[in-house]
Amino acid sequence: MRDFTNRALDTAQALGAQYADVRVERKEVQSVTVKNGRVEAVSETDEQGFGVRVLVHGAWGFASSARPEAEEIDRIAALAVAIARASALTQREAVDLGAAVKSVGSYRTPVQRDPFAVSLDDKIALLLAADAGMRSVPGIGVAEGSMEAQRIARTFASSEGSYLEQTLVETGAGIEAMAVGENEAQKRSYPNSFGRHQGTAGYEFVEALDLVGNAPRIAEQAVQLLSAEQCPSGLATIILDATQVALQVHESCGHPIELDRVFGAEAAYAGTSFLTLDKLGAFQYGSEHVTIVADATVPRGLGTFGWDDEGVPAQRTVIVRNGRFENYLTSRETAARLGRFSNGTMRADGWNRIPLIRMTNINLEPGPWRFEDLVADTDQGLYLETNKSWSIDDQRLNFQFGTEIAWEITGGKLGKMYRNATYTGITPRFWNACDAVGREWQLWGVVNCGKGQPSQSAHVGHGAAPARFRNVQVGVL
């Protein structure tokens, strides 16, 4: 492999690249979907390729190919250089990567049970058992379960001397039950929405989910939701379950702290960020109960790895400390503009994509509250579970989320069920209205984080616990 990477780097430098890196990747994915008692889809995908990223006179170029042949290495390296020279036609400022990074080593996701070694029969049997559990509940129209295993073998080499080999393994699964009525359809998911919950782990991750044991419960709730009352509107105290807190962190903290976004790199697509540079170290993002960290070292997180795709080691960075905004997610280029070092968050969605600043595991640190105490301490309010819809503006300020299910809280107790719950707010006002964070903390996986053009889908993690927020607008639907 060193011959391969050396050839790419040497060619790029010989043609004028002041900096070059190359990633060679092989990705295997196995996915299984069952639906209504039948195997809906089983597939295995095997993909390989390499990408060469170069800086020429301070301008970026990138080219990639699926054909790992000697002539193609030369062609792609030369094309990357030519693209960088074209980029320079509009240059206003040369890119500065800061101090050189030389990392050498290897990393492998710790796995107890290789998900690719588990038989397809066992995976199908597990999903069909959960499917049967959901369909045992009268009124379920669509029952669906899915499972995925992914293995990426990645080699990274740079002209600064980095040479890294990483093997990252992910495993995940989930189930959904949908009840369909007159002009109404209601869905419940477990353990999370978006199809599945996933982590950097082996098949033990799926076994611990107890899909079969939870199947009847979510199916019953889906059916009950058809006749549940519409969630009321108004200002309310709300408690979010950990999965919804995870998505709230994702959209309203994880994205606005991406420093490339702050500098305008995503302006034409997903937008910019309200967390402008003047707020760094001087902005009360949330209440004293809110501490958020970016931690690429925590076990089983989807944002856990050895080094990022610039060769910067995985690390833990405090983003918000007791409500005060302290740090961004950075790359070498963006950190250098602040006179800092990268905190290691550049990740690419495959050999054919450039690395972008991506969330690692962006975690809300746990608080002291047991969930039952949190509810008992709430006189009137709502408990909202499991994300159903999400939307946020182009500065990450005005958000609206919907959840699959909500529960009335009266006199410190959970009461009746509501359907079609939504809540909306403005990011810093919302987080400053957080007056309690639970202790039942768990790391959740989000497998559909979109960013960049051409689009890239990242797998990211969020540690979260139930949390309470005061005076929130609910029920605009």
Instruction: Pick out residues in 308-367 that bind other proteins (CB under 8 A).
Output: 352-354
On the 0-12 / 13-18 / 19+ scale of CB atoms within 10 A, 384 is buried
Residues within window 435-464 making contact with other proteins, judged by CB under 8 A? 452-454
Residue 273 sits in the site that holds other proteins (CB under 8 A): no
Min CB(426)–other proteins separation in Å: 6
Instruction: Compute how many residues bind other proteins; rule: CB under 8 A.
Output: 88
Q: Which is nearer to other proteins, 144 or 220 (CB)?
A: 144
- Candidates 7, 13, 39, 214; binder of other proteins (CB under 8 A) is 39
Residue 122 sits in the site that holds other proteins (CB under 8 A): no
Q: Which is nearer to other proteins, 68 or 412 (CB)?
A: 68
Residue 395 sits in the site that holds other proteins (CB under 8 A): yes
Residues within window 253-272 making contact with other proteins, judged by CB under 8 A? 263-271
- β-bridge partners, 442: 464
Task: With beta carbons less than 8 A apart as the criterion, state whether 178 and 220 touch.
Answer: no
- Candidates 204, 377, 394, 435; binder of other proteins (CB under 8 A) is 394
- Candidates 99, 120, 208, 277; binder of other proteins (CB under 8 A) is 120
Q: Which is nearer to other proteins, 234 or 411 (CB)?
A: 234
- Candidates 132, 400, 412, 435; binder of other proteins (CB under 8 A) is 400
Residue 422 sits in the site that holds other proteins (CB under 8 A): yes
Min CB(404)–other proteins separation in Å: 12
Q: Which stretch binds other proteins (CB under 8 A): 54-62, 148-156, 285-293, 362-370?
A: 54-62
Report residue 458 as tokens. Answer: 């990242």
Q: Which is nearer to other proteins, 286 or 313 (CB)?
A: 286
Residues near 146 by beta carbon (within 8 Å), at least 6 away in sequence: 31, 32, 33, 34, 127, 173, 174, 175, 195, 196
Min CB(465)–other proteins separation in Å: 25
Q: Which stretch binds other proteins (CB under 8 A): 36-44, 205-213, 236-244, 337-345?
A: 36-44
Q: Which is nearer to other proteins, 64 or 150 (CB)?
A: 64
Q: Which is nearer to other proteins, 7 or 35 (CB)?
A: 35
- Candidates 1, 14, 66, 100; binder of other proteins (CB under 8 A) is 66
Min CB(388)–other proteins separation in Å: 8
Report residue 391 as tokens. Answer: 């939307």
Residues within window 144-173 making contact with other proteins, judged by CB under 8 A? 144, 146
Q: Which is nearer to other proteins, 133 or 271 (CB)?
A: 271
Q: Which is nearer to other proteins, 64 or 330 (CB)?
A: 64
How far is it, in rounded angstroms, from Cα 192 to Cα 212? 15
Instruction: Report residue 88: phi and psi, to 5°.
Output: -65, -15
- Candidates 199, 402, 445, 461; binder of other proteins (CB under 8 A) is 402
Residues within window 193-222 making contact with other proteins, judged by CB under 8 A? none
How far is it, in rounded angstroms, from Cα 308 to Cα 322? 27
Q: Which stretch binds other proteins (CB under 8 A): 62-70, 240-248, 357-365, 438-446?
A: 62-70
- Candidates 3, 71, 93, 278; binder of other proteins (CB under 8 A) is 93
Min CB(119)–other proteins separation in Å: 8
Min CB(316)–other proteins separation in Å: 28
Q: Which is nearer to other proteins, 355 or 445 (CB)?
A: 355
Residue 5 sits in the site that holds other proteins (CB under 8 A): no
Task: With beta carbons less than 8 A apart as the criterion, state whether 241 and 188 touch.
Answer: no
Q: Which stretch binds other proteins (CB under 8 A): 37-45, 205-213, 304-312, 409-417?
A: 37-45
3-state secondary structure the chain: CHHHHHHHHHHHHHCCCCEEEEEEEEEEEEEEEEECCEEEEEEEEEEEEEEEEEEECCEEEEEEECCCCHHHHHHHHHHHHHHHHHHHHHCCCCCCCCCCCCCEEEEECCCCCCCCCCCHHHHHHHHHHHHHHHHCCCCEEEEEEEEEEEEEEEEEEECCCCEEEEEEEEEEEEEEEEEEECCEEEEEEECCCCCCEEECCCCHHHHCCCHHHHHHHHHHHHHHHHHCEECCCEEEEEEECHHHHHHHHHHHHHCCCEHHHHCCCCCCCCCCCCCCHHHCCCCECCCCCCCEEEECCCCCCCCCCCECCCCCECCEEEEEECCEECCCECCHHHHHHCCCCCCCCEECCCCCCCCEECCCEEEECCCCECHHHHHHCCCEEEEEEEEEEEEECCCCCEEEEEEEEEEEEECCEEEEEEECEEEEEEHHHHHHCEEEEECCCEEEEEEEEEECCCCEEEEEEEEECCEEEEEEEECCC
Residue 71 sits in the site that holds other proteins (CB under 8 A): no
Q: Which stretch binds other proteins (CB under 8 A): 84-92, 153-161, 286-294, 359-367?
A: 84-92
